[in-house]
Amino acid sequence: MRNVLAIIPARGGSKGIPFKNIRPVGGKPLLAHTIDDALSSRLITRVVVSTDHPDVAAVALEHGAEVIRRPPEISDDSADSESALLHAIDHLKQTERYEPELVVFLQATSPLRPPQSIDQAIAEFDDQQADSLFSSCPVHGFVWRREAERLVSVTYDYQHRQRRQNAPEDLIENGSIYIFKTWVLREFKNRLGGKIATYVMDPIYSFQVDEPRDLALTEQLLTLKTSPQELPRLDQVRLLVVDFDGVMTDNRVLVDQDGRESVLCHRGDGWGIDQLKQTRIEIVVLSTETHPVVSARCRKLGITCIQSCSDKLSALKEFAGARAVTPDQIMYIGNDENDLECLRWVGLPVAVADAEPAVRASCVFITERRGGEGAVREICDLLRASQPATTTLSVY
């Protein structure tokens, strides 16, 4: 298993909120939320807090993190996070000859990240074969900027206003998660460098604690994290049914000058499916699409494909009946209105994050990830964790 080090910088001083990092929020110190997130990761192998203050160190130790004492010269308001990160990895190398392969930089001021988002971000980092990654949230809309004494429209031409849904999607660093290879930090003195990727999070999980008034709002928002969606009866699932367009793809089609079509699939989804095949759960793709790309992808993954079916529910009932699988033993992942009949019939209907509103309203669970961006991997990981593994081997 590779060494993945989580570093959480947490100074004692703060101008906006005195001792911000150890102020109680949601029943425990602000810093403790991020420590808990890091410790809950299956991929992080070590968690350290870099701090200059004994009270912060005490909180870190109490909640299960290691502590690296940061010198005063890189602990004042003018010090950047990179100096703390470099100090931490240099300290560990000098004192222990420990050099992590990956560093996950987590900010204590982002207590709302879902715990699973860290592992999902690492998976995205690997899938993109990146050298560094930042978490972000999407911005749809019309952004303006003050320049000197005038306002300038940045993301659009206000004289030719687009419909909001047709405007390009912009991404903002939300400060929650950064991942980088150690050499990136050493070479660039920056958390980002080399091939840069991003992990997109819902805006609601991107809120940061910066001002005193943020504390009360964070108390309320933490209920979204401490009362997460739960998928019931996962251990009863025997059949996972996956729509193709908009679930295993991002719902776009690429058309060349000769009319040939292609789609984009997420490699992480393929990995999740491959791992789930080692359990007793059968996986089938059910699609109305007639294009051979559907069957080609399923052959690559070694799973059953039912495509070109105008009546998806009838096809699903026939497939399930042949295997003596009951509706309550079926999970279905969909995104559009042609999935509604199937979603209403199965025991565990799931929608991807960017599914149509009617689909989201009909499901018991909505993924964090969007279709074609790791949503299937997210569900496969949840299912695999609930199922006893078999000795079946598969090739990916």
What span, in angstroms and rounded, lies between the C-alpha atoms of 87 and 183? Answer: 14
Please tell me the CATH code under which domain 4-139+168-226 is placed.
3.90.550.10
What span, in angstroms and rounded, lies between the C-alpha atoms of 49 and 328? Answer: 45
182's tokens:
């150690």
* 291 touches 261 (CB < 8 A): yes
- pLDDT-above-70 percentage for the chain: 94
- 234-386: CATH homologous superfamily? HAD superfamily/HAD-like (3.40.50.1000)
- Average pLDDT for 343-353: 91
Strands 239-242 and 28-29 come out as unpaired
Query: Residue 207 carries which side chain, given as an amino acid letter?
Result: F
pTM of the entire predicted model: 0.66
Q: What is the pLDDT of residue 393?
A: 37
* 361 touches 346 (CB < 8 A): no
- Average pLDDT for 303-315: 92
* 181 touches 143 (CB < 8 A): no
272-306 pLDDT tens trace: 999 999 999 999 999 998 888 999 999 999 999 99
**pLDDT confidence band for 396 (50 / 70 / 90):** very low
Q: What is the pLDDT of residue 225?
A: 64
330's tokens:
């079926």
113-169 pLDDT tens trace: 887 789 889 988 998 999 999 999 888 778 889 998 899 988 888 888 877 666 677
Q: What is the pLDDT of residue 217?
A: 86
Residues pairing with 365 in the sheet: 350
Q: What is the pLDDT of residue 204?
A: 81
Domain ranges of the chain: 4-139+168-226, 234-386
167-224 pLDDT tens trace: 677 889 999 999 999 999 999 999 999 999 999 888 888 888 888 888 888 888 887 6
- Nearest of 168, 237, 173, 228 to residue 201 by alpha carbon: 173
